Structure 1
């Protein structure tokens, strides 16, 4: 396994830390401190920075970067299911749990969502409470709300 590279990337909702290597991106996290963007982005992270830039500019809805999240087999199964939630759509923790085949596992599924190491690309922000409420988000509920608004079709309609 090759050594991990990292960079920092300013987004409209905070500085992202991107970590990865030839095997893929293993972490994208949002920091609560503002850091300058990395001037010389390591080559293995360039495509990730490019795709995140396109996402925040409203030009990208799907990511095609290679990801390599670190977690348990159960967590990876939950994260794989998150990848099936389309841009601009939402699901609930219960619906996600039922798709995974065990409605009693809702707390474990919610916990795995909370441990998602690849912010935005694995879209845990698209999971809401059964009543539609914005519940639990490691990056802060204000960021979850921002991301959902950013992906909302109503936010991109024109009057003309």
Structure 2
């Protein structure tokens, strides 16, 4: 036994259950009122289901174009994601390179400051040594001058004897 659904008894134009159905020569079934209204509007006696087949035929290129655009959109989305991933990878590489450069510059700065401190220490030590010699010379000259002045005050003969 065959089972029928409501769709089997519905007019494809108005989508209601058939009201005085008629069968056209193309084997389509339509409500008599829907058919008459269609013929009045159209001005010719054509099957209303053929304005749907024609429309479907005209929709096919549009659907194909839509599918092409959807494919292009997928490609664009994939490209955008690839660009984002590539940019993130490049950013990571740049950051790593700059870390290396910063480390190099810090090491170089520390080495130069250490060399400067060492040079400063050497020059300071040289100046200390020179100051000690100068102080020693000053002390020696001061002692000599004081001794000469003391002898000059003692008398001329004593002074001349010591020369």
Q: TM-score, normalised by structure 1?
A: 0.17
Q: Which has the higher helix share?
A: 2
Greater relative contact order, per chain length (Cα 8 Å cut-off, separation 6+): 1
Which one has the largest radius of gyration?
A: 2
Q: TM-score, normalised by structure 2?
A: 0.17
